[in-house]
Amino acid sequence: MRILAAFAATIIGIAVTTAASAREVVPFQASVSPGTIVIRTAERRLYYVRGDGTALRYRVAVGKPGKQWFGEAQIDGKYVRPAWSPPAEVKRDNPRLPDVIPGGAPNNPMGARALTLNLDEYAIHGTNRPSSIGTYASYGCIRMLNEDIVHLYDQVGVGTRVVVVP
């Protein structure tokens, strides 16, 4: 019955959410191709554009003021429970961080999945701090709930276009 209700809600355009995720199906008209990821920093939302005039919308954490970036990138890697090496800027601000935090470790900020981008050291990834979702929290990466990054990871491939706008 629950699946039928979710299916019916999707068909008539009502947002679908679950307690374990922050994703929903929303109307979305944009000048980007289906399969594109659009991140609206001011909204702290990521949209995965579908071909039917809708998008999957996810709540995310974005870069802190002064750490944000805007423009286009492509996904250049997909990783399950990735290890994390703090970038030089993060290490400078937090010198006690280890050089590498193993994948799956409770203090690993990458979470369950990571989609790396073909510029700088940015990624769309899960988080070990779910309370940061919906805030300005990172050094430029896009954080998602682990349940949501797992879902998005299954939808996209290497080469997926990512557009980040204010």
pLDDT of 84 reads 95
Q: Exactly one of 61, 125, 142, 149 is catalytic; which is it?
A: 125
Task: Specify the amino acid at residue 107.
Answer: N
Mean pLDDT of successive 10-residue stretches along the chain, which has 166 residues: 38 42 88 96 98 96 96 98 94 95 94 94 95 96 98 98 97
Residue 20 confidence (pLDDT): 52
Told to judge if 141 belongs to the known catalytic residues of this protein, a careful annotator would answer yes
3-class secondary structure per residue, the chain: CHHHHHHHHHHCCCCCCCCCCCEEEEECCCCCCCCCEEEECCCCEEEEECCCCEEEEEECEEECCCCCCCEEEEEEEEEECCCECCCHHHHHHCCCCCCCECCCCCCCCCCCEEEEECCCCCEEECCCCHHHCCCEEECCCEECCHHHHHHHHHHCCCCCEEEEEC
Position 120 scores a pLDDT of 78
**pLDDT the model gives residue 21:** 63
The one catalytic residue among 141, 142, 149, 152 = 141
pLDDT for res 16: 43
3-state secondary structure of 12: coil
Residues 120, 141: Cα–Cα separation, whole Å: 10
